[in-house]
Homo-oligomer: A and B are copies of this chain.
């Protein structure tokens, strides 16, 4: 089964990469874009046994642990888990 973790910079953290994309879009003729934020899309293929044996809550807990320990930097990033 596949789980998705979306990692975004916290709203109060500046995103120079997003700002560069916004400016570049303007130069390409896409006017009026107010803001761009760039984050990560992490897709994790888990063994089907994890889906069959474990409850959804257990899986979410495991993925949250992965995100806290490795996938996201909790100081500057938030994450969202999608099962």
Interface residues of A (CB under 8 A from B): 6-8, 18, 21, 24-25, 28, 30, 32-47, 49-50, 62, 65-66, 69-71
Q: Chain B nearest CB: distance from A19 CB in Å?
A: 12
Among A41, A42, A47, A66, chain B packs the most CB atoms within 10 A around the CB of A41
Point out the residues of chain B lying under 8 angstroms from A36, CB to CB. 42-45
Are A37 and B43 in contact, CB atoms less than 8 angstroms apart?
yes
**Contact partner, A41, options B8, B21, B50, B70, Cβ 8 Å:** B8
Point out the residues of chain B lying under 8 angstroms from A62, CB to CB. 30
Given contacts A70-B24, A71-B21, contact A41 B43 (CB under 8 A): no
